[in-house]
Structure 1
Amino acid sequence: MSRRVALFLLAFGVWSWIIWITFVKNLSASDQSWAPDGSATAFFYVHLVLAIVSFVLGTIIGVIGWRGLKARKKDLAGQRQ
């Protein structure tokens, strides 16, 4: 994997966490997320599942990028010897 691709994947993972943390904060503050009795609505659960899946995928993609950078660094160090 090229350094550029690894950095892109790592940046995507970080970006995904930043965006979805903000989304979940806004979701919890939304009037559509809560019924008048204070219980969570279907809107809340659907969007929470979407956020959780996005957290997982962002983490996986970021880890792939991180491992790509580490492997590339190790390969470059091995070539110098």
Structure 2
Amino acid sequence: MKLNRSASWFLLAFGVWSWVIWATFVKNLIKDGSGLAFDDAGDPTAYFWVHLLLAVTSFLLGTAVGVIGFRSVRALRREKA
């Protein structure tokens, strides 16, 4: 299957965007002072674990989508040359 240039760049950009957004989210989750992510004793709550799992899943999916986009962009450049 071949992707066109704009679809390839979109997938690559989405992969990068996913990493930027979710890395920021995890950083903010770890520094949470509202009491949602950590209880009074400083232990992680269910909220923390669920959102960490969401972030890890998004990292994996963002990586997969970004790799597909990167490979497609690279293949299109090889075709052009």
Give me the TM-score of the superposition, normalised by structure 1.
Answer: 0.90
Matching residue's letter, 1:34: F
* Counterpart mapping for 1:47-58 below 5 A: 47-58=51-62
C-alpha separation between the residues in 2 aligned to 1:15 and 1:73? 22
Q: Deviations over 1:20-41 (max 9, x none)?
A: 0111111112231111111110
Structure number with greater Rg is 1
Matching of residue 28 in structure 1 with residue 30 in structure 2: yes
Number of positions where the alignment pairs a residue of Structure 1 with one of Structure 2:
77
Matching of residue 10 in structure 1 with residue 9 in structure 2: no
Which deviates the most, 39-48 or 29-38? 29-38
Aligned CA RMSD, in angstroms, stands at 0.8
Give me the TM-score of the superposition, normalised by structure 2.
Answer: 0.90
Report which of the two has the higher share of helix.
Answer: 1
Divergent runs of 4+, >6 A: none
C-alpha separation between the residues in 2 aligned to 1:46 and 1:4? 34
C-alpha separation between the residues in 1 aligned to 2:79 and 2:24? 37
